[in-house]
């Protein structure tokens, strides 16, 4: 979430600076000696609109990330993540500094956001073991699985997580005991 917040801040600063540049061109068109002022104004307006659109998009990503972290069911730090698309191995990420937050609204994997119940993406299954959690989600056409490796959890903590998942998402987690 930190990187999303930083990107949003940078985009807002750049948007503000481009707006100031546009206003300067309107107020003092004599600042452009060799370039036609209409051409420079059109270019600076395009830059301003592009930065504003990117800033708005990043604002909505930040809002979604806050929604996920505010309604956290489980937070894993550090996490090792393996993502599988359908049955084919797709991507494996191993990062010691990656924080994973799981909520009923989605998953926050560092700066990546996976939203549930939007665009047809739904949480389909949750499998909890002592040191792994497997989340299955996706649309009707495509299913993805995320395997999260974490520190072993106590049985009381697992029972609490199961209860919260069942209440918040309606998905009944499958518990795999390895003892």
pLDDT digits (tens, 9 = 90+) for 125-134: 888 887 788 8
**Do 45 and 96 touch, CB atoms closer than 8 A?**
no
| Residue with the larger pLDDT of the pair 149 and 90 | 149
- Nearest alpha carbon to residue 103 among 127, 129, 76, 82: 76
- Nearest alpha carbon to residue 51 among 4, 3, 16, 6: 16
Query: Rounded to a whole number, what is the distance in angstroms from the first to the last CA of the chain?
Result: 36
- Asked whether residue 32 carries a pLDDT value surpassing 90, the answer given is no
Residue range 34-89, pLDDT digits in tens = 667 677 778 888 999 999 999 999 999 999 999 999 988 888 876 666 665 655 55
- Nearest alpha carbon to residue 171 among 142, 134, 144, 140: 134
- Of the listed ranges 29-38, 79-88, 165-174, the one predicted with least confidence: 79-88
Is 2.30.29 the CATH number for 72-175? yes
- Asked whether residue 175 carries a pLDDT value surpassing 80, the answer given is yes
Q: What is the pLDDT of residue 95?
A: 43
**Do 123 and 135 touch, CB atoms closer than 8 A?**
yes
**Number of residues assigned to the chain:** 179
């Amino acid at each position: 979430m930190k990187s999303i917040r930083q990107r949003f801040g940078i985009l807002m600063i750049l948007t503000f600076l481009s707006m100031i540049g546009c206003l300067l061109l309107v107020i003092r068109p004599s600042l452009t000696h060799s370039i036609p002022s209409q051409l420079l104004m059109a270019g600076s307006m395009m830059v301003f609109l592009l930065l504003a659109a990117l800033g708005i998009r990043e604002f909505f990503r930040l809002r979604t990330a806050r929604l996920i972290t505010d309604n956290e069911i489980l937070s894993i730090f550090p996490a090792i993540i393996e993502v599988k698309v359908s049955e084919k191995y797709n991507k494996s990420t191993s990062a010691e500094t990656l924080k994973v937050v799981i909520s009923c609204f989605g998953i926050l994997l560092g700066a990546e956001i996976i939203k549930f119940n939007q665009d047809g993406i739904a949480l389909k299954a949750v499998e909890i073991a002592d040191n792994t959690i497997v989340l299955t989600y996706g649309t009707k056409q495509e299913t993805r699985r995320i395997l999260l490796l974490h520190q072993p959890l106590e049985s009381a903590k697992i029972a609490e997580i199961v209860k919260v998942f069942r209440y918040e998402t309606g998905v009944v987690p499958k518990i795999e005991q390895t003892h």
